[in-house]
Amino acid sequence: MSINAMTIANRAVLVTGANRGIGHALVQEALRRGATRVHAGARQTLTTLDDRIAPLTLDVTDAAQVQTAAENVATLDLLINNAGLGFHDDITNRAVLERHLAVNLFGTFGVTQAFLPLLTRSHGAIVNVLSISASAPLRDVPAYSIAKAAAFNLTQSLRALLAGRGVRVHAVVTGPVDTEMTRGLNVPKASPQSVAQAIFDGVENGAEDIFADPVSVAVATSRRTSTAKARERGSAA
């Protein structure tokens, strides 16, 4: 399903978790596509020589930092909630689950709420970077899978609630990406650069759900095929 598209050129963009991996690639890709201002949020302020990049000290779990960051941004067209946390666990420790939820769910929620007035004013868009584990939990990272599933539901709810305010909401579904988080995973991985390109392609094409790498595309295609076959069997019954 598609929604109103947004070109990146001449836009103000904010990326959380911008210091490495997909976040760093998103900053560079936004600039390549002509963004006039890219606010790069990270827990430690980034150093940059590009005057189009505005570093923001932004720990998404720190409400005071989030509010200060929002006060220091004058205009915003596109918010990309990319900051995330994921590590191996066996779901026996509540504190580990709470830590995953604090970053992946409540961090996304808090940043979105803080910048929503600016996005409402610009009729902008929100992009939440999620994972295929939201619907297909991975055995070795159950807390991460739970948190991403909650964030996916949050994304769908925001999409319905904010449509009337002219704010578009995109869900990005990724498979394995070659980042620090997946360093020990011995499977084929997409590059952060290719994922960043796919994310902005999806925004510019107005895709509600953006499948940003070959694994997520294959999973989405397989599910669509299974759903179509189930409907055919139901019609024939």
**Which residues carry out catalysis?**
144
Do the beta carbons of residue 196 and residue 189 sit within 8 Å? Answer: no
Neighbours of 222 (CB within 10 A): 10
Give the three-state DSSP class for 211: strand
Any bridge partners for residue 168, and if so which?
Answer: 125
Helical axes 94-101 vs 142-162, angle rounded to 10° = 30
Quick one: the chain helix, strand, coil %, rounded to 5?
Answer: 50, 15, 35
Please give the span between the terminal C-alpha atoms of the chain, in angstroms, as a whole number.
28
Q: Which pair of tokens denotes residue 135? A: 């619907």
Helical axes 192-205 vs 21-32, angle rounded to 10° = 50
Rounded CA-CA distance 72/177 in Å is: 32
For the sheet containing 168-173, what is the strand order? 53-57, 37-42, 12-15, 78-81, 125-129, 168-173, 209-211
